[in-house]
Structure 1
Amino acid sequence: MTPPTAATPGSVDPSISRADRMPSATGPSGLGRLRRGPFRFALPAVAAAALMAGCTSGSDGAESAGSASSAPPASPPGPGGIPPAATPEPPKPKGQDDPALREFYTQQLAWEPCKDDPETTEKDEREFQCATLRVPLDYAAPAARSIEIAVMRHPAGKADARIGSLLTNPGGPGGSGVDWLKYAYARFDGGIHDRFDVVSFDPRGVGASTPVRCLDDAVRDRRNGDDGPDPADHAATKAHGEQLGKEFAAACQEKSGDLLQHVGTRNAARDMDVLRGVLGDAKLNYLGYSYGTYLGSLYTEEFPDRVGRLVLDGAVDPAQDPLEKSVNQQIGFEQSFTRFAKDCAARAGCPFGRDAEKAPKIASDFLDGLRTKPLRTNDSKRKLTSNLGWTGAINLLYGDEDKQWKWLREAFTYAMRDANGAALLYYADNYNGRDEKGKYDGSMDALPVIRCADMMAEAPTPERIQEMLAKLKKEAPLFSQNTVAEDFEGPGCEYWPFRTTEKPHTVKAPASNPVLVVGTTGDPATPYEASERLAAGLEHATLLTLEGEGHGAYGKGSDCIDDAVDAYLLEGALPPAGTRCT
């Protein structure tokens, strides 16, 4: 690949970046107040009192994690005032055993060659097959309305050795599995390609499936480039964030209506089981990255008897509350940013100078300084603001130290020495899902909508806020220099038209087959601790570790990781406990 320049940055592989994205400057598309440091995450303030009650639990009658009990009322007392023994209700059928869902599990997919994408020169998409799956909008009322799920597959290369289907999810939430498979399919060359139909899909609310829609392109451009008030002005920052949150929630409600409360991950897991059944697989074989590990985790909880061989790479810990997850992610990115800047200082020509201890602060101060001195770009209508500069830098921290860190060094060089922000703007646009024509792919609408369908409704306690704030200040001093306790107040999604019943909880899945969890020690987006905790929580899980940088491990260049994952998927052979790769 030609080295990137200010005019032609290196193309970012969607299978590497944007897999589990930090929200943009306006929180998750403006759901709450801005974080007061150089890069932001959504931890809104003041809770709104007028939110409607949450989602239903699904047609199979199983409660969502943390939902209220649906036990029948007590029977009247028998003779002598002694209540009769309660007769337990038989479990309601779920999934393919539910008669109300039979029409969805028995549908036939009309596969046809996919349309070739002229933007991808390495692959002819007509080699893939595309189809549309029908699923219920609401699993509690499956006959009421159905929605569409876009599906893509690449048939197994050796039909006589075919194992079945391998479903994949690239992360997000909001990531298109169909678009991802076009770029990422090369990582499956070899045994996986020979023996599996590799399948991906756009989850409900995303991409070519029935999508959520909120903001138009012009509004999205304005928000992404908005640095907001001075971060030291807490009152102005709060008011600005609240206004953005209200506008975003109203736009989503107007354009997406009743779709909003049904796009949560638990429903996506149910969709995935419908797809498994329609594909003819008795059990689900699955590879999920980042947010896709949360989708896979909930699948093991909903359908433990349908779990085949599951790989959860770059794990999200379902037991972490939103506050802890955001703080840990912020810490992870600061640590990765610091390692990048120090690595740069050891190289000739680094724009941060040669002092490794000073380099992170110099890089951070430069990006913060774009608030008052935005840079020109190759687009006469757009400048590189601080928010866009940080977004572009964060995007490349998802990758490894060999390729993406090289591109980030060059992007900083063009910005700091040539006063040209084109490269960082390119990487920011890639992260935000914006193409060269100014069209957004909708992923940044889907991200906060899905998170609000998944996020707990309770606000953190003052004690919890102080605990997390102290941790953030200690472990991410650069990124949290302007953060205050009130940034963490409120349950999140204050202006949303419903409240979810989902809560953080440990997924155990005692009845499932063994699961392989893969974690990377230098992962900024889903820090390694989350992989450790997910593997420890699951009753039948093995943790495979990559010692290195970047988000996600499989297919990223480690033969040790790839061989171990392939052996598990192809033969069911788990690596020895404690296996670590470099």
Structure 2
Amino acid sequence: MNRRLSALAVIGSLALVLSGCTFISPAPVPSATQGPTPTDKAGFYGQTLVWTECGKGLECATAKAPIDWDAPAGGAIDLALVKHPASGTAQGSLLVNPGGPGGSGWDFVQGSGDAVAGAPVVENFDVVGWDPRGVGQSTPVTCFTDPKDTDKTLYGTYSSPYDTQGWIDELTVEEQSFADACKKNTGDLLGNVDTVSNARDMDMLRAALGDKKLNYLGYSYGTYFGTVYAELFPENVGRLVLDGAVDPLQSDFESLKFQMAGFDSAFRAYLQSCLDGKGCPFTGTVDDAALQVRTILDGIDALGLVNGDGRVLDSATLATGILGNLYSESYWPDMTTMFAGLADGDPALSFTSADSYNSRNDDGSYQSNSYEVYVAATCVDGDFASDPATTLDRIAEIDVAAPILGKYATYDDFAVLDIACSAWPYPRADLPTAFDAEGAAPILVIGTTNDPATPYASSVSLAKQLSSGVLISYKGEGHTIYNQGVACIDDVVDAYFVKGTVPAADPMC
């Protein structure tokens, strides 16, 4: 599942509002907690956070969490936090997560400033972002230490063509090397980056922040954090908003296949918009244009288009670039320019989009370890390893469900996960099997009708599963929608957070 795009999409959407704001900046070192590292659950819950100023009116701190909540004496990790203090009188804290797995809540809050949430929310809450276990400035998951090795994993080409057993054999060797490096350089944390462990961290952070109830804003995969939290700690649920929801009852493969169909749907909407405008590189109907794109994807490997830095564009990287431009309707003009460049034999903009997806800098370094966490968390949360079908058979199923982009998007995503998780050195975590969160306060679930990454039906399903779920629908394009200038959505969410107001019915914005 292309969940790792979600955090970039949320931050990118905010960038449209915050002109000139930089989201990746030199990070001050968060403060340590007072006293010795706790060795039992009560000690972790009772720790004191030491907040220090860290620029732009923000405060930073570091919390401690056990590597394994079932064995809290077995070692601890750091969790980096950043707080945007309430501009008025704080009702309490609001914990936020932009998605992932692998998204940095620290970067999200540090980069967003006053626009991290609606003005009424920022006035009434201390907004706190944290890097979940394994992410960024928290104790990190580390796999390859040389970015050239990461480049090989994300952009490398193969001797055998895609969709062949020879390619699967090469990929298997590559993913075994990746898994071995992750285990060597991360240790036991690698097996404890699951969502249940993160939910337990969230409850500990609630207590350390001094809140009786957890107030939480989660986007995309961050909705799964919130859903699992509500199931484990329903009595501690305060005001939870889950925007762009993940359906927790879908298998990983079915969820990914469903998501690829969502990307195809969003791409068709892009094609219609392109054809209706000027300078579109495609012709005819939407179906005609879709076939033209499929022809481009089918033929791109044979062209061997070389980027200025020597990387060769293949169908997997091009699909990554396309998907990245589907996360917001505002990116569609960039997509048109990207395709126009390809028509002239220039792959530069395709790599620009793929690099943004992968958090890769112009100099070849990487802004974050989001890819490593994405694979690690998916392998310990998901069921890929137990899937009896072969990788090639599953790719064929995805191709039927999403006949424009699906197959090509699997090459650097589903196929990687299916094989990497089979070689993963740690078992799948124990996860809840039902998600009614009986006894929890009302939880708002927001769904966008043509969301490419978390299709609308997932939000509908989650709202029904939660005993106190309240569905809020937005008729439109893009992934997630709160705090992006849609008053109908923003007013509902702000009133819920500030006053506890729950809509009597879906406003269908």
* TM-score normalized with structure 1 length: 0.76
What SS does structure 2 have at the residue aligned with 1:552? coil
Deviation at 1:469, TM superposition (A): 7.7
Matched, 1:362 2:288: no
8 Å Cα contact 1:165-1:196 kept in structure 2: yes
Q: Which residue of 2 aligns with 1:303?
A: 233
SS at match of 1:178: helix
For residues 147 and 167 of structure 2, what CA distance do their matches in structure 1 show? 24
Q: What is residue 397 of structure 1 aligned with on the other side?
A: 326
Q: Find 2:123's aligned residue among 194, 206, 209.
A: 194
Task: Output the CA distance in 2 between the equivalents of 1:501 and 1:163.
Answer: 35
Tell me the residue number matched to 2:463.
535
User: Residues 335 and 534 of structure 1: is their aligned pair in 2 closer, same or farther, counting only changes over 3 Å?
Assistant: same
Identify the residue that residue 354 of structure 2 maps to in structure 1.
Answer: 428
Structure 2 match to 1:557: 485
Query: SS where residue 286 of structure 2 aligns?
Result: coil
SS at match of 1:173: coil
Cα distance in 2, alignment partners of residues 165 and 145 from structure 1 = 28
Relative to structure 1, the CA distance from residue 383 to residue 17 in structure 2 (aligned partners, 3 Å threshold; closer, same or farther) is: farther
Question: Could you say if the C-alpha distance between residues 298 and 340 of structure 1 is closer, same or farther in structure 2, counting changes exceeding 3 Å?
Answer: same
Partner of residue 214, structure 1 = 143
Deviation of 1:234 (Å): 2.0
Q: Which amino acid in 1 is paired with 2:489?
A: I
Q: Determine if the alignment matches structure 1 residue 112 to structure 2 residue 112.
A: no
| Percent of aligned pairs with the same amino acid | 39
Give SS of 1:193's match: helix
Q: Of 265, 276, 287, which aligns to 1:346?
A: 276
Give the superposition deviation at 1:462.
6.1
CA deviations on 1:387-437 (whole Å, 9 max, x unpaired) are 2222121111111x2x111222222223324x3222221121111011122
Aligned position for 1:285: 215
CA distance in 2, matches of 1:258, 1:299: 23
Q: Which secondary structure state, in structure 2, belongs to the residue aligned with residue 372 of structure 1?
A: helix
Q: Which residue in the other structure is 2:401 paired with?
A: 475
Question: What TM-score results when the alignment is normalised by the length of structure 2?
Answer: 0.86
Q: Report the counterpart of residue 15 of structure 1 in structure 2.
A: 11
Q: Distance in 2 between matches of 1:196 and 1:547?
A: 29
Distance in 2 (CA, whole Å) between partners of 1:360 and 1:279 is 51
Distance 1:189 1:519, change over 3 A: closer
C-alpha contact (below 8 Å) 1:311/1:517 kept by paired residues: yes
Contact 1:109-1:278 within 8 A present in 2 as well: yes
Could you say which residue in structure 1 is the equivalent of 2:43?
103
Matching residue's letter, 1:284: L
| 3-state DSSP of counterpart to 1:353 | coil
Residue 105 of structure 1, CA deviation: 1.7
Cα deviation, 1:241-263, whole Å, max 9, x if unaligned, reads 21122111111111112111111
Alignment partner of 2:439 out of 503, 506, 511: 511
How far apart in 2 are the matches of 1:235 and 1:254? 29
Task: Quote the Cα distance in structure 2 between the aligned partners of 1:14 and 1:555.
Answer: 10
Note the alpha carbon deviations across 1:365-407, whole angstroms, 9 max, x for none. 3244321224344x343343332222121111111x2x11122
Superposition deviation, residue 182 in structure 1: 3.1
Output the amino acid matched with 1:137.
Answer: I
Contact 1:521 / 1:548 at 8 angstroms: preserved in 2? yes
Judging changes above 3 Å, is the alpha-carbon distance between structure 1 residues 503 and 16 closer, same or farther for their aligned structure 2 residues? same
Residue-by-residue CA offset, 1:107-132 (whole Å, 9 max, x unaligned): 22121122xxxxxxxxxx43211111
Q: Structure 2 matches for 1:11-410, cutoff 5 A?
A: 15-16=11-12, 100-114=40-54, 125-159=55-89, 162-185=90-113, 186-215=115-144, 216-228=146-158, 231=161, 234-377=164-307, 379-399=308-328, 401=329, 403-410=330-337
Is contact 2:261–2:401 with CA below 8 Å preserved after alignment? yes
Quote the Cα distance in structure 2 between the aligned partners of 1:313 and 1:267. 21
Q: 1:346 to 1:164 in 2, by over 3 A?
A: same
What's 1:44 paired with? none
The 3-state SS of whatever aligns with 1:135 is strand
Matched residue of 2:318: which SS?
A: helix
Q: d(CA) in 1 for partners of 2:161 and 2:404?
A: 14
Contact kept, 8 Å, 1:460 with 1:491, in 2: the verdict is no
Aligned residue pair count: 472
Shift of 1:480: 4.9
1:496 maps onto 2:424 in alignment? yes
Unaligned stretches of 5+ in structure 1?
Answer: 1-11, 19-97, 115-124
Distance 1:323 1:373 in 2: 31
Structure 2 spans left out of the alignment, 5+ residues: 1-7, 15-37
Does the C-alpha gap of structure 1 residues 228 and 520 become closer, same or farther in structure 2, counting only changes over 3 Å? Answer: farther
- Aligned-pair distance for 1:570? 0.8
SS of 2:11's partner is coil
CA contact (8 A) 1:168 1:288 kept: yes
The letter for the 2-side match of 1:336 is A
Tell me the CA shift for residue 101 of structure 1.
Answer: 1.6
Secondary structure of 1:127's counterpart equals coil
Pairing 1:439–2:439 present: no
Q: Give the Å deviation of 1:341.
A: 1.8
| Higher relative contact order, chain-length normalized (CA < 8 Å, sep 6+) | 1
CA separation of 1:315/1:16 partners in 2, compared to 1, >3 Å: closer, same or farther?
Answer: farther
What's the CA shift for 1:474? 4.4
Q: Is the 8 A contact 2:385 2:421 kept in 1?
A: no
2-structure distance, mates of 1:565, 1:306: 20
Deviation at 1:487, TM superposition (A): 7.1
